């Protein structure tokens, strides 16, 4: 089975530019999570969705960050405008709850560098 | 909210020895405790998890113990091998489908 798929794997851009990260969750999973990983702050949850609806966005650092989930198989995390301090690895994870309880499965992340 | 502390931050063991990583959590409502292994350039991969109605769970060389009263849980790896070298994260939360809070991670080095 295909796992969580993220694109791009690497992104290098200049500050001020818009950045869009993409995620395809595992088919059948109804929860989707966006995380950011840095040396200083570790792995922190930014936002998560259930059935395409945002449930908790308290981890989104500021208004420059936004996330959408237009359908069950696709989500985006957008940063506009980007800043050097946004440089990090961004992970997407998904899982299923209910009769088909499954733990969170992570993608391999997007390494973002803002110059 | 939940807070998870993980120790040690780095651990170096000789091949064949055991490794133990410990975590404490703050929210007594948490009832699900997974452990993830992260290799360089990869996302965290689940290696074992435990729910609060169980005190211990084993899977080959890996075991996890949970003490709900003391709010701590531990990962035990026996007969370590070089391929066990990675970063290990503990996490705590409320069952599947809810958010997890992660520990800061432990860098495990297995020397051959």
Residue % of chain B over a pLDDT of 70: 98
Are B99 and A101 an interchain contact pair (Cβ–Cβ within 8 Å)?
no
| Partner A contacted by B40 (CB < 8 A) | no
The residue ranking higher by pLDDT, B40 or A103, is B40
Look at phi and psi of residue B78 and say left if phi exceeds 0, alpha if psi is from -120 to 50, else beta: beta
Assess contact for A69 and A55: CB atoms under 8 A.
no
Assess contact for B36 and B89: CB atoms under 8 A.
yes
Tell me what the pLDDT averaged over chain A comes to: 94
- Tens of pLDDT, residue by residue over B48-91, are 999 888 899 999 999 999 999 999 999 999 999 999 999 999 99
Q: Which of B43, B49, B103 sits opposite A91 (nearest CB)?
A: B43
Does A100 have pLDDT greater than 70?
Answer: no
Assess contact for A13 and A21: CB atoms under 8 A.
no
CA distances (Å), B25 to each of A84, A107, B29, B73, B76, in order? Answer: 32, 26, 10, 8, 18
Q: Which of B92, B26, B101 is nearest to B64 (CA)?
A: B92
Look at phi and psi of residue B36 and say left if phi exceeds 0, alpha if psi is from -120 to 50, else beta: beta
A 8-47 → B contacts, CB under 8 A: 30-31, 33, 42-45
Provide φ and ψ at A99, rounded to 5°.
-60, -25
């Amino acid at each position: 089975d295909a796992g969580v798929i993220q694109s791009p794997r690497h992104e290098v851009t200049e500050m001020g530019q818009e950045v869009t990260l993409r995620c395809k969750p595992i088919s059948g999973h109804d929860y989707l999570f966006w995380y950011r990983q840095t040396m200083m702050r570790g792995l922190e949850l930014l936002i998560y969705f259930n059935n395409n609806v945002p449930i908790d966005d308290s981890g989104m650092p500021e208004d420059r960050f936004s996330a959408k989930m237009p359908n069950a198989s696709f989500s985006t995390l957008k940063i506009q405008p980007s800043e050097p301090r946004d440089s990090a690895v961004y992970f997407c994870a998904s899982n299923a709850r209910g009769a088909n309880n499954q733990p969170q499965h992570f993608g391999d992340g997007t390494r973002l560098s803002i110059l | 909210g939940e807070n998870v502390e993980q120790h040690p931050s780095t651990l170096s063991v000789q091949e064949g020895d055991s490794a133990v990583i410990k975590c404490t959590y703050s929210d007594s409502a948490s009832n699900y405790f997974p452990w993830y292994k992260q290799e360089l350039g990869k996302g965290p991969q689940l290696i074992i998890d435990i729910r609060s109605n169980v005190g211990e769970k084993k899977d080959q060389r890996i075991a996890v113990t949970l003490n709900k009263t003391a709010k701590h849980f531990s990962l035990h790896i026996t007969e370590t091998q070089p391929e066990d070298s990675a970063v290990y994260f503990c996490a705590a939360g409320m069952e599947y489908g809810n958010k997890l809070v992660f520990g800061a991670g432990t860098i495990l080095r297995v020397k051959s």
